[in-house]
Amino acid sequence: MIKSKIFFSFIAIEIIVIAFLYTDANHTIAARNAEVQSKRELVRKLSLTDFAVFTEARYTRHPSQADTFSAFQDFPSSMDHFPAGSIVGPQRGNN
């Protein structure tokens, strides 16, 4: 009996925590809406196209603007030697 009580109270606590986190998430989303709006303004006015996350190579800095065979872009059969290249997948453009 005692074990089941521990289990249920544990689950109950976790559900309360999750409910709290959920409201917290909604709250944060609402609170940061203004931030998203100003980011949109930023993108529009500066005509940005990409996140400034991986700055090490040009195809990771601007994945959406990169050549279609970016992994070999520096010379034929040049290996992709940037660590971020392993997490920014290859892009398939229309051309």
Partner 1 sequence: MILHPGALALITGAVLCFSMTAYAVVLALKIIWHWDISSSSELQLALERRTYLISTVMNYVMGFEILSLFLYVYTLDSIHVLFVGAMCATGSLNANPIGWYVLYTRIAIFFLSATWIAINYLDGQAEDYPLVKLKYKFLLFIAPMIFLDGYLEIKYFAGLKPDVITSCCGSLFSDESKKVAGSLAGLPIKPMMYVFYCAAATLAALSALSMKVKASIVKYLTSFASILFFPIAIASTISFISIYYYELPTHHCPFDILQGTYNYVGYPLFVSLFGGSFFPVASGVAELFGSVPSLREPVGKAQKRWYVVSIILIAIFVGFSSWPIVFSGFTPF
Partner 2 sequence: MFIYSIIVATLTSLLFLTQSLKKEAMDVFIEAPELIVQRMSAGRHDLIPVGYAEKILSIPGVSSVEPRYWGYYYDNLTGGNYTLIARNIDALHMVKGTLPKGPGECAIGKGVADVRLTDLNDVLFLSINPQQKVSLKVVGIFTADSAILTNDLVVMDKNDLVNFFALPKDMATDLIVHVSNASEVPTIAMKIRRDYPDTRPITRSEIVRTYENVFNWRGGMALTMFIGPLLAFAIFAWDKATGMSAGERQEIGILKAIGWETTDVLKLKFWEGMAISLTSFLTGSILAYIHVFYFGAALFAPVLKGWSVLFPPFNPIPYIDLYQIFVIFFLTVIPYLASTIIPSWKAAVTDPDTVMRS
Residue 63 CB neighbours (<10 A): 19
Half-sphere exposure of 17 (CA within 13 A, CB side): 6
CB of 77 to partner 2, least distance (A): 14
Does position 77 interact with partner 2 (CB under 8 A)? The reply is no
Kindly state the helix (H) or strand (E) to which residue 26 belongs, with its residue range: helix 2-31
Nearer to partner 2, 77 or 86 (CB): 86
Structure tokens at 60: 């990771």
- Per CB under 8 A, 65 contacts partner 2: yes
CA distance from start to end of the chain = 67
Quote the CA–CA distance of 74 and 85 in Å, as a whole number: 14
Q: How far is the CB of 93 from partner 1 (least distance, A)?
A: 8
Verify binding: residue 80, partner 2, rule CB under 8 A.
no
Binding site for partner 2 (CB under 8 A): 7, 10-11, 14-15, 17-18, 21-22, 24-25, 28-29, 32, 35-36, 38-56, 58, 60-61, 63-67, 69, 73, 82-84, 86-89, 91, 93-95
